[in-house]
Amino acid sequence: AIQTNHMPLIQLFIDHGADVDFIDDNKNSPLSYAIQMKSESIVSLLIEHGADVNFVDIFNVSLLTYAINEQEFGVVKLLVDHGADVNFVAKNSMDNDKMEPLFLYAICKDSELPLVQYLLEHGATYDFKSEGSLCTLMPHLFIGFRVEILEYLLESKINIQDLTLKTLKDLIWRDRDELLRILIKHGLDVELSDEEGNTLL
């Protein structure tokens, strides 16, 4: 019924005692299918009747990860508002053998600023101080030309003084002039150098 988006039938099943957390032969829950079908109304109905918003499938993928992957902001909000873990460690979007914070997963999936902002405002954490974390984050902003998100993070999360030449290498290689201007506007030292004396120029 979920896969055909048949709301009255779903409601009928629930009214007659259907288990909203039933796990099928594919090890998926009803919420998993509702999210993949991009049906916010069914997601809402299932949550209203107690469906587990922190269900994780056999691939160690959470429902919130699926919602971000589908770019379903409304579903993301429904899940988070009902207790979904915004700090779930998701599979790396490029390498399934690696894991990454959900916030970074959202960046990698080209999520729009409102979704990224929402995650951070609702408790998603990321280490914006360490060089290693910034080296992981910044290339995704540069490659995807994420101007709005870069501006937001510089204004609220990233201290421009924590950026090193190493974290900016993708910006230089990809000739992202607009992003470089944003960084300079926020106080980037144009004479920034590495241990060997190399500079941005």
Q: Where are the domains of the chain?
A: 127-201
Q: Which of the pair, 93 or 84, is modelled with greater confidence?
A: 84
The reported pLDDT for the residue numbered 118 is 96
Residue 48, pLDDT score: 93
DSSP 8-state assignment for residue 93: S
- pLDDT of 87-128, one tens digit each? 988 665 555 556 778 888 898 888 899 999 999 999 998 888
**Is the model more confident about 67 or about 162?**
67
pLDDT reported for residue 6: 67
Residue 100 to residue 104: CA distance in whole angstroms? 6
- Residue 35 has a pLDDT of 94
CB-CB contact of 82 with 107 (8 Å)? no
Averaged pLDDT, 46-62: 92
CB proximity list for 72: less than 8 A, separation 6 or greater: 35, 38, 40
Is the predicted pLDDT of residue 81 greater than 60, yes or no?
Answer: yes
Give residue 83's pLDDT. Answer: 96
- Please report the pLDDT score of residue 184 as a whole number: 87
What would the 3-class secondary structure string for 3-63 be? CCCCHHHHHHHHHCCCCCCCCCCCCCCHHHHHHHCCCHHHHHHHHHCCCCCCCECCCCCEH
Whole-number pLDDT of residue 44:
94
Give the pairing type, strands 99-101 and 89-91: antiparallel
Model's pTM, two decimal places?
0.82
